Structure 1
Amino acid sequence: MKGETPYDLRLPLTPPIVHAWRMIARDHEAVFGRPPALTADAAVVIRYAGDEDGCPEWPEAFCFRFDTGGDDPVLHIVGRDELGVVYGMLHFSRWILGVDPFWFWAELPPVRRQVVSVPCVNYDSSKPRVRYRGWFVNDEVCLIGWKEAYPPGEEVWLPVFEALLRCGGNMVIPGTDLPRTGIHHKLAAEMGLWITHHHAEPLGAEMFLRAYPGKQASYQEHPELFERLWEEAIQRQKDEKIVWVLSFRGQGDKPFWENDPRFDTPAKRGELISRVVRKQYDMIARHVEKPICCMAMYGEIAELYKEGHICVPEGVIKVWADNGYGKMVSRRHGNLNLRIPALPAPEDGGANGVYYHVTFHDLQASNHLTMFPSSAELIAEELERAFSAGAGEYLLVNSGNLLQHLRPLDLVSELWMYGKADAGEQLCRFTERMYTSYQADIARLYLEYAERTIPYGPNPDDRAGEEFYHHPTRQIMGHWLRGKKVCNESLIWAAGGGSFSEQVRWFRDKAEQAASGWEELKQRCLRLLQVLPAAEAKRLRHQLLVQIELHRSGCLGLAAICKAYATFDAGNYPLSFVQASEAVWHYRESERALREAEERQWEHFYRADWLTNVANTLDQAETVRKFVRIQGDSPDMFLWYKEFLMPETEKHIYLENTHRNPLPDDELAKRMKDLLAE
């Protein structure tokens, strides 16, 4: 195959086919340096399957068939249906043109070639283990802030949906609660993806309080208003490929009875949810023949279902969720962590599926800007266990912002295609795709990454993402500055219910124990950067070093704030000021890591970091040190300079009109640090 090799599209040019052809045309030009030609007498033919092809008969199947009867063999890329053609074209792109599924996100362009050898061997696609499989592009604040336009436009969403298709996915929730003027839903549908919905936005309908501000969001009081929103959503999407989500939660993604005390028993709550879900299903069935529907067994709904209070309509896929940390148990709510198994019981018939997090946001210890904090083996074990329990019809993966989560997303794509995966072998393949040398050293960094994360609890999935260094830290600083010394309720989930000082000590110990491991990992990564080719060094910086640095500097920042509090509580304000300043400096390192990663196509990618919110933590740390300085250096911010820095001879003869220029916090802290070293 060469640059002049022509193609023939022998099928209607529907939007999904047009999008897929644009990918192939771009890939062909990237490999051969020239755009492909379209002719009727071509070496590569793309078409739908005929009876003579023997193409697999399941939905989305494809095959390669070679016609060798002429002077030159002709490759036929044959699809059973529209998505089958798309997957066939993308299989051709990956295995013949050499384009990686994550080429955009990993900045991994295909190798330029003059000729590509194509073995004349017929090929049949394998049937995916999971029928409906895809990503929930949730916690997408980085994608929101990446470009100026809001809601994000095509340049943001195209590489997201393309990567999903290249990974064999066929379903997506394109963002959360974005304005309906955005292109995200329309573009995903145009690219051939099934659209599904957030469980807090059943049927993809508008939020009740957004449509009817000021009214009580009660189905008991306003059933006609809820049903009007559902009907509008059905009419808007009835001609698209939709996996309809049936659900009923309160506004803001919480149990509805928190705002309606009439529902004070599990039976009352389950009866209303069952009635609403049945109503939603019947409304869809009036407009859509054989609709595909699912229901999230999430949080309180799973508990009510297991207790027998919820009836799910026949044929609806029940979707079970992990706890946000990869374990198929109920998630932690504040300080309550029941860890109730979240998989269908053996006697639970019907179709079941999984909603799984490789990234999460919970205001406690989750990972948003960094990779899954536990081992990849945990992902493989839990999803294989879910499939064995019968939850293999549907797999929706919380993919976050993609950029930070490529390795686990790659692993999950193997699982949804084949039903099993060896995490170690997948890591070897992943690093070999990304790097031309030092693959074993880089694979070791990935393995040890999960070993370095803070184990904050007794369970194997109790491993901390980068939010551990920010949300608890801000809770500690707020509690401190409000003058409270009693137990901080918001920290009990990790540090227990002792005094505030004991809780702070727990966090300090955890952070200090982990910091040296992150420093060692960072230094090894930096040494690899010196020997890798420039493009691969940049890839390692973006994919791993920035995450290691967020953990390292986060550990040090958290430890420094905890030390500053203990020293402050002992009445040593000057040393507490220096320690609080050290926290500021460490959180600045976190900020700097994000800014340095925003080069070239990633300019402004971290601008909208509103979930972990490193800038917020830094701002509050600066407030803490100003507060501490006021305790001992007020009112003129000159006392500590005089006590610690002014020469003895000057202390007794200086004139105030020449010596009262107070030093900035940074300069004062740096000059005091060596004098007050512990």
Structure 2
Amino acid sequence: MLAQLKLEGIVRIHVAVELTSPLEHALRILKRDLEKVLGAQPEMVQYIESADLVIRLGEEQDHCPQRPEAFCYRFGQHGEVGQVGIIGYDELGIVYAVLEFTRTYLGIQPFWFWMDQSIEPRSKIVIPCHNVDSSEAKVRYRGWFVNDEVCLIGWKEPYPPTREVWEPVFEALLRCGGNMVIPGTDLPRDGIHYKLAAEMGLWVTHHHAEPLGAEMFLRAFPGRQASYQQEPELFERLWQEAIEEQKDMKVLWVLSFRGQGDAPFWMNDPSFDTSEKRGAMIGKVIKRQYDMISSVVPNPECCVALYGEISELYKGGYIDLPADVIKIWADNGYGKMVSRRHNNVNHRVHALPAADDGGKHGVYYHITFHDLQASNHLTMYPGSAGFLRQEIEGAFAARAHEYLLVNSGNIRPHVYSLDIMRELWLTGKINVERHLEQFVSSYYSAYHSELAELYHSYAEAAIAYGKNEDDLAGDEYYHHPARQIIGHWLQGKDGKPDPRLIWAVGEVPFQEQVKGFEERLTSGIQTWSAWLERCNQVLDKLEPGDRRRAIDQLRFHGELHSSGCEGFYWLCRAYDEFAAQRYPQAFVYASESMWSYQRGLATLRESEHGKWERFYQADWLTNIESTVQNVDTLRRWIRMFGDSPDFFLWYKEHLMPETEKYIYLENTHRNPLSDDELARRLKEHFTNSASLSH
């Protein structure tokens, strides 16, 4: 047999298997990647003897691993012509074989699209003729929940998102060895997302608030009481419709019973006022859903999301579940396997199976989150790779490795964390230093150690807003609490604490709440400023492609933290000055706040280059633009305190030359300055007169 197989020019492909929809997608990707690297479109050939690549199912003589989704490469030759068999145990095994082939031999990385990987053209590809067998994944069902995905929604004009948006998402997931997906949250039912996921070979599963993938009750039956106790036939009609619609697809059926809008069901049905009543109803509904599926689908794969109140009721012994369902445990949204914070209540109950809890278990895990408090949505997960390893390996050690669903958000800002999860769900463990070296060298051409240091130290720059190891501020920390402070202040409620802020700064007078944020933000300004300075030094060394990539994947995150940190800090300082009735100074600080937040908005716009045009247009969750508008409203309001009604008084008092104050004529000297111009000139004046501190 030949020692090496050379591919150059037009590669000839023979497909010796029925081309199902997932295999058609895999073949399309293979042909695209070969053309991208070798510069020539591959040729499909009829006879196996004339092919360079043969795509087929495994045969006995191949000794391909005998398990679902396995694949292998087997080399041979016809005369002097070498050939590689791209072989799968089953359909999804062939898909993985193709995608791993383009990664290993063509250099197409899992996140090539999302990282704007530079694909280097080559005249030929040399492949060592060594047989390859795939390893078995640690996790049986592994995938993404494309949740909080508003950037994907706003990226392109059509709604719901089209194939153009979803294909790169599902391809990246398959390249990561994923096999299941929840494609979006509460999207219109006529969208392409579920159909395309199934087309590409993925199992589909459901949001815990949409059990069985059924339509929301109140959307289907507006005006009716959303109570299973009162309307069981209507609920079951929706469930039956969902079962019929999906019975021929690969589905992990989610059994659950939450209220409308992803809230506890007793919010709509207050007669369930004890844990016993609530648990009994949830158990009854789940058993009914299970029986309905089992009557239609042979040997269905079912799971129950132990999320929020369902987890607490289950751990309290109030819910009975069918023995063979996968029990899915969830982190708190910040990566820690404990119960999530509900407003100001944070019990942090351990969220993994007890040693005597039998059956199959899995994990729902957030590397991005949206909670109106301190979560990361636009920015990379603020914790360390070591922390992610600790939590996921700990879950595996607790036998929760049948299923791993990762909240992937809108993909682009979260690539590094998603790649960590890829390694964990495939191998069950990770050496974070080695993985980081491999990750950086896969996407950047030079200065790997400097770039790795930036990825590593990113977590060290994050604001620790609480005493727990996962109490690290994401981008929402600078925006939701800030807008809450503005609302509380402008509504004249600042004489009492804002209860929405107790989770972060305690139940203390409002001025102390504001001061509590200010103190944390002061340290954050220092750490993020230092991190950005190091980042800029590395950027100056990089060639244009790497530089653009590092701006989007590193500096982007630091700038959103830094600008948000500074914006929130100046907002707190504005309140300090306002409370002391130093209104012009408060106006200047509010302007400083707005200018800082505007930097964050500019960062989003600068990242929307090329194919990424409009990508952050639908920033509706962190919503930097809303924060800018809120602070602008605030500074206009502050100007009412002493500069109204003519909006000339502060100029006259602080900026007009003394010689002019007593002789000017109002009919020629009373054109009010704009807010920005007045703020800049007052800032300069107060700084020079030492009545404005930084």
Tell me if TM exceeds 0.5. yes
Q: State the SS of the aligned residue for 1:412.
A: helix
Greater alpha carbon shift after TM alignment, 103-112 vs 613-622: 103-112
Amino acid at match of 1:312: L
Shift of 1:42: 0.3
CA contact (8 A) 1:3 1:28 kept: no
Q: 1:298: Cα distance to partner?
A: 0.5
Contact 2:571 2:593 in 1 (8 A): yes
Q: Secondary structure at the residue paired with 2:652?
A: helix
Within 5 A, what are the aligned runs for 1:636-647? 636-647=646-657
How far the C-alpha of 1:523 sits from its partner, in A, is 2.0
In structure 1, the residue matched to 2:582 is 572
Q: Which residue of 2 aligns with 1:21?
A: 27
What SS does the aligned partner of 1:103 have?
coil
**Alignment check: 8 A CA contact 1:100 1:110 kept:** no
C-alpha distance in structure 2 between counterparts of 1:198 and 1:423, whole Å: 30
Corresponding residue for residue 274 of structure 1: 283
Answer yes or no: is the 8 Å Cα contact 1:61–1:127 preserved in 2: yes
- What does residue range 407-418 of structure 1 map to in structure 2 within 5 Å? 407-418=416-427
| 3-state SS, counterpart of residue 4 of structure 1 | coil
Given residue 639 of structure 1, which amino acid in structure 2 is its aligned partner?
L
Amino acid of the structure 2 residue aligned with 1:200: A
> Distance between the aligned counterparts of 1:569 and 1:637, measured in 2?
21
Corresponding residue number in structure 1 for 2:551: 541
Instruction: Kindly report which structure 2 residues correspond to 1:306-455, keeping only aligned pairs within 5 A, or say none.
Output: 306-455=315-464
The equivalent of 2:689 in structure 1 is: none
Corresponding residue of 1:551? 561
Q: After superposition, what is the alpha-carbon deviation per residue over 1:423-471, rounded to whole angstroms, capped at 9, x for unaligned?
A: 1211111111111111111111111110011001111111010100000
Q: How does 1:93-492 map to 2 (within 5 A)?
A: 93-484=102-493, 485-492=495-502
Say whether the 8 Å CA contact 2:71–2:97 is kept in structure 1: yes
List structure 1 segments (4+ residues) > 3 angstroms apart after TM superposition.
Answer: none
Separation (CA, whole Å) in 2 of partners of 1:584 and 1:657: 32
Q: Give the Cα separation in 2 of the matches to 1:111 and 1:87.
A: 23
Indicate the residue corresponding to 1:532 in structure 2: 542
Q: Is the 8 A contact 2:118 2:545 kept in 1?
A: no
SS of residue matched to 1:108: coil
Q: Which residue of 1 aligns with 2:680?
A: 670
Alpha carbons 1:367, 1:373 under 8 Å: kept: yes
Q: 2 CA distance for matches of 1:55 and 1:461?
A: 43
* Matched residue, 1:6: 12
Aligned counterparts of 2:9 and 2:517: Cα–Cα separation in 1: 59
The match for 1:31 is 37
Letter in 1 for 2:671: N
> Per the alignment, in what secondary structure is the counterpart of residue 569 of structure 2?
helix
Q: Secondary structure at the match of 1:295?
A: strand
Which letter does structure 2 place at the counterpart of 1:416? Answer: W
Report if aligned partners of 1:327, 1:461 keep a CA contact under 8 Å in 2: yes
User: Secondary structure at the residue paired with 1:631?
Assistant: coil
d(CA) in 1 for partners of 2:379, 2:188: 27
Q: Letter of the aligned partner of 1:605 in structure 2?
A: F
Q: CA deviation at 1:529?
A: 2.0
CA contact (8 A) 1:99 1:109 kept: no
State how far apart, in whole Å, the 1-side matches of 2:432 and 2:627 are: 35
- Aligned mates of 1:483, 1:513 — CA distance in 2: 29
* Aligned amino acid, residue 354 of structure 2: A
Q: How many residues align?
A: 678
Structure 2 runs not aligned, ≥5 long = 1-6, 687-691
Distance 1:238 1:661 in 2: 71
For residue 10 of structure 1, what is the amino acid of its counterpart?
A
Give, in whole Å, the separation in 1 of the partners of 2:118 and 2:39. Answer: 12
1:573-592 to structure 2, matched below 5 A, reads 573-592=583-602
Which letter does structure 2 place at the counterpart of 1:182?
A: G
Q: Residue 355 of structure 1 aligns to a residue in which SS?
A: strand
Q: Any conservation in 1 of the 2:206–2:212 contact (CA below 8 Å)?
A: yes
1:45 aligns to what SS in structure 2?
A: strand
User: 2: CA distance between counterparts of 1:577 and 1:415?
Assistant: 50
Q: d(CA) in 1 for partners of 2:453 and 2:521?
A: 23
CA distance in 2, matches of 1:173, 1:70: 48
| DSSP 3-state at the match of 1:325 | coil
The Cα offsets for residues 333-382 of structure 1, whole Å up to 9 and x where unpaired, read as: 10111000000000000000000000001100000000111111111111
Counterpart in the other structure of 1:54: 63
Shift, 1:88, TM fit: 0.4
Paired AA for residue 616 in structure 2: Y
User: Cα deviation per residue 1:599-644 (whole Å; 9 max; x = unaligned)?
Assistant: 1111000000000000011100001101100111000111001101
- TM-score normalised by structure 1 residue count: 0.99
- Say what the alpha-carbon RMSD is for the aligned residues: 0.8
Comparing 347-356 with 51-60, which one deviates more in the overlay?
A: 51-60
Paired residues of 1:314 and 1:350 also in contact (CA < 8 A): yes
Deviation, structure 1 residue 528: 2.0
Secondary structure of 1:47's aligned partner: strand
What is the CA–CA distance in structure 1 between the aligned matches of 2:23 and 2:243, rounded to whole Å?
26
For the residues of structure 1 that align with 2:616 and 2:549, how far apart are their CA atoms?
17
Q: Which residue of 1 aligns with 2:530?
A: 520
Tell me the secondary structure at the aligned position of residue 656 of structure 1.
Answer: coil
Q: What is the CA-CA distance between 1:72 and the residue it aligns to?
A: 2.3
SS in 2 for 1:78: strand
Q: Could you give the per-residue CA deviations for residues 536-587 of structure 1, whole angstroms, max 9, x where no partner exists?
A: 1000011111110000010100000000001100110010000000001000
Distance 1:124 1:277 in 2: 40
Aligned to 2:661: 651
Secondary structure of residue in 1 paired with 2:594: helix
User: Could you tell me whether the CA contact under 8 Å between 1:62 and 1:80 is conserved in 2?
Assistant: yes
Q: Secondary structure at the match of 2:142?
A: strand
Q: The residue matched to 2:159 in structure 1 has which SS?
A: coil
Q: How does 1:34-45 map to 2 (within 5 A)?
A: 34-39=40-45, 40=47, 41-45=50-54
Deviations 1:189-222, CA, capped at 9 Å, x for gaps: 0000000000000000000000000111000010
2-side partners of 1:544 and 1:451: how far apart? Answer: 14
One-letter amino acid of the counterpart of residue 390, structure 2: E
Counterpart secondary structure, 1:128: coil
Residues 246 and 293 of structure 1 are in contact (CA less than 8 Å); yes or no, is this contact kept in structure 2?
A: yes
- Is 385-394 or 479-488 further displaced after alignment? 479-488
Inter-partner Cα distance in structure 2 for 1:616 and 1:252: 23
Percent of residue pairs bearing the same amino acid type:
58
Query: 2:138–2:428: 8 Å Cα contact kept in structure 1?
Result: yes
Query: By how many angstroms is 1:74 displaced?
Result: 1.4
Shift of residue 69, structure 1, vs aligned partner: 5.9
